[in-house]
Amino acid sequence: MSGLYLHIPFCHSKCAYCDFFSTPNRTRVEEYVDALEKEFHARKGELNGPVTTVYLGGGTPSALPLNLLERILEFIPLENAREITMEVNPEDVTDDLASWIAASEINRVSMGIQSLIDSELKIIGRRHSARDAMDAFARLRHAGIENISVDLIFGLPGQTHASWLHSLDSVLEMKPDHLSAYSLMLEPGTRLWAMRQAGKFRETDEAEVENMYRSLCDKAAGAGMEHYEISNFAMPGKQSLHNSSYWNLTPYLGLGTGAHSFDGSTRRFNPPDIKSYIATGGLITETDSETVTEKINDYIMIRLRTSAGLSTAAFRELFGHEATESLMANASRQLAGGLLKQTAAGVLYIPERHFLVSDTVISDLML
């Protein structure tokens, strides 16, 4: 069982908050897909069993022409894939693209909406309007796509609680199968970071961000969604299999610039450099030198971000008795304070109402 991730680092333009590896220069898309194919053939031996989930992420995969998307689907093994996701941006979702996706093996679409208020979209540099996003969603549904996830951001410049509720309610009315909602992170090097430094907007204060998150949890629950990870909500049976496999330490192979891979014990990554990637035919993979303690801490972090939590039995099996003793010693303060709970079966979890302070809880547990 293995996941396959393909990174498409091209976008139409750079959003003001974005620090993902992506470029608006699309002159080398064809050569890039050639390199992806070469990398796949060179590294397919690293796959740990049949490919069960595929994720075309970016960047903006929908910025690629259809013939290149078709080529990608031809060289990757899809016969055992239960979930094949493609990220799209609303401005790319034409009738042609929606019909092409519906007729292809892709069975899940993830669309970045971020907000349904035009002034908020403008300040963060999105190229689509609220109307475009709603139309794109309707087009995907009309084409027959049954599994659609949407992304939203809260804590945006100029956003109020009322405008957040408008975006949230409007998105939930569209009845997505899955919702990912993140609080805005201002990252150095982005346009929004520079705008904040120049005093061009006031950051949303922490208490307001907390209120927005609480509304998100309440409204998503009201819409029948399960809150299965800090930032992820799904209708029953619609949890993202691909993302869940990251949280379950299922091995995955990541192709393309900036992509990460995990074979069950070692993590590898491809440096974010399109020119070298194309020049080497995708062979610029480097190995992460992760220590055992870093692996343990990664595991603690990803498991405690999920509502399923961290099974101490599974932890003991993976990392041994001594590490489990240290984990439980570190957990005692948060267990006593109630921010962390433990089930009778020994599963540690953070209750939903404390998800927002999960960073503090998790850092206390780290070895």
Window 239-258: contact mask with ligand SF4 (x via CB under 6 A): --------------------
Window 101-120: contact mask with ligand SF4 (x via CB under 6 A): -----------x--------
What residues contact 124, with CB distance under 8 A and at least 6 apart?
Answer: 15, 16, 17, 114, 115, 153, 156, 157, 192
Q: Work out which of 89, 232, 257, 285 binds ligand SF4, going by CB under 6 A.
A: 89
Task: Report in angstroms how near the CB of residue 186 gets to ligand SF4 at its nearest.
Answer: 14
Q: Work out which of 4, 8, 18, 259 binds ligand SF4, going by CB under 6 A.
A: 18
8 is a contact residue toward ligand SF4 (CB under 6 A): no
Task: Report in angstroms how near the CB of residue 281 gets to ligand SF4 at its nearest.
Answer: 24
Q: Which is nearer to ligand SF4, 24 or 264 (CB)?
A: 24
14 is a contact residue toward ligand SF4 (CB under 6 A): yes
Q: Which is nearer to ligand SF4, 130 or 348 (CB)?
A: 130
Q: How would you list the strands of the sheet with 178-183, edge to edge?
A: 226-229, 232-234, 178-183, 148-154, 108-114, 83-88, 51-58, 2-8, 252-255, 260-262, 267-269, 286-287
Task: Report in angstroms how near the CB of residue 11 gets to ligand SF4 at its nearest.
Answer: 3
Window 40-79: contact mask with ligand SF4 (x via CB under 6 A): ------------------xxx-------------------
Give dist(CA 169, CA 238) in Å, integer: 20
Give dist(CA 215, CA 209) in Å, integer: 10
Give dist(CA 146, CA 148) in Å, integer: 6
Give dist(CA 124, CA 111) in Å, integer: 16
Q: Which is nearer to ligand SF4, 20 or 347 (CB)?
A: 20
Count Cα atoms within 13 angstroms, Cβ side, for 82: 12
What are the structure tokens assigned to 146, written together? 């049954």
Q: How would you list the strands of the sheet with 347-349, edge to edge?
A: 310-311, 347-349, 341-342
Tell me which stretch binds ligand SF4 (CB under 6 A): 8-16, 193-201, 219-227, 337-345: 8-16
Q: Which is nearer to ligand SF4, 22 or 159 (CB)?
A: 22
192 is a contact residue toward ligand SF4 (CB under 6 A): no
- Chain centroid to Cα 65, Å, comes to 23
Interface size with ligand SF4, residues (CB under 6 A): 11
20 is a contact residue toward ligand SF4 (CB under 6 A): yes
22 is a contact residue toward ligand SF4 (CB under 6 A): yes
Interacting residues with ligand SF4 (CB under 6 A): 11, 14-15, 18, 20, 22, 58-60, 89, 112
